A and B are shown apart, each in its own frame.
Chain A
Amino acid sequence: MKYDEELVAAAVSLIARREGQRGKISDARIRRSISTSYYALYHFLIEEAATRLIGTHSTLLRRRRLLVRSFTHAGVKAALDKFSRAVVDQSVAEFVRPAGLASANVPSPQYAQDMAKAFSDAQAKRHDADYDLNKGLSERDAALLAARVTSAVGTWRAARTPADRDFKHAFCMLMLLKGKLREP
């Protein structure tokens, strides 16, 4: 099982009920679940970048682990924000433009839009879960977020065409660059 999958499983188990168990799940378990779902998504993305930019061979493990320490939460979000809408943000459109696409606007792949929205939602909820106990979060919020993270990762992994591979490689570079490119 991959690390992000283990984290989602942990997030789900935190709000799971034993057979016959009634009553509310504790606030602490709900908040830990939400925070863990967010970290599942974060670790998925930085591992994705490490394997695409460095390589998957086991001898490269140490190098991958060194690279993932260079990512920041704000930087990952800044990169994802460029792809949260139907059209890629103009500031990075040329960088991810598919070969042969002539139109001015570059469409954002659906799996990238889903990932961007899931990450923004998870980050906002994780902020409340970890830092603002005055903001209520429900058991249903935790369950929906774990499902959303699972779905976003699943659709991302399922996109495997050569164009998807090229896009993901460019996106991983953008995560490292915190979503910023120098203008030509």
Chain B
Amino acid sequence: MPSIAADDPGLSLGARKMAQVEFAVIKKLVAEAADKAAIGKAVDRIELEADHDEGGSDFLRITLYLKELEKIENKQLVKVIESVEDALLDKDERFPSVRFAEAA
């Protein structure tokens, strides 16, 4: 019985080879997402980092540092997450994992 192995040429791995979007472009998309959620003025800075988990999945760590984070409603933050994911999922193979932190 054939084994299922990643290097088996008979298997359809379906890997989408997409270009990785440049960080400058991603930052612009994230800033636009924050504007759409009406929290653009609260953004102090945006940090990006590419990484992969222990299973080998690539992801983008996207952290928005926000002024007075505690005053921002959850639904606004959810809107940012959804906008960033919608903007990047078809353009970049790395999953955009959005996080929020209080600006110092």
Contacts and interface: CB of A to CB of B under 8 A. Distances in A.
Interface string A141-184: 10110011000000000000000000000000000011111110
A180 B89 contact: no
Interface residues of B, number: 32
A120 B81 CA distance: 13
Contact of A124 (B4, B6, B13, B53): B53
A18 interface: no
A181 to B, nearest CB: 5
Nearest to A138: B101
Given A138-B101, A182-B11, A127 B95 contact: no
Interface in B86-104: 89-90, 95, 97-102
The 9 closest A-B pairs by CB, nearest first: A91-B14, A74-B55, A124-B97, A127-B53, A91-B12, A120-B95, A124-B59, A183-B12, A89-B14
B71 to A, nearest CB: 11
A123 B53 contact: yes
A9 interface: no
Contacts of B14: 82, 89-92, 179-180
15 contacts: A73-B55, A77-B57, A91-B14, A120-B57, A120-B59, A121-B81, A123-B53, A124-B61, A125-B99, A128-B61, A136-B63, A144-B77, A147-B78, A148-B78, A183-B11
Contacts, number: 92
Contact of A74 (B4, B57, B74, B95): B57
B85 interface: yes
Contacts of B13: 91, 180
Interface residues of A, number: 37
B98 to A, nearest CB: 8
Contact of B97 (A72, A77, A85, A121): A121
Nearest to A72: B55
A140 B54 contact: no
B74 A182 contact: no
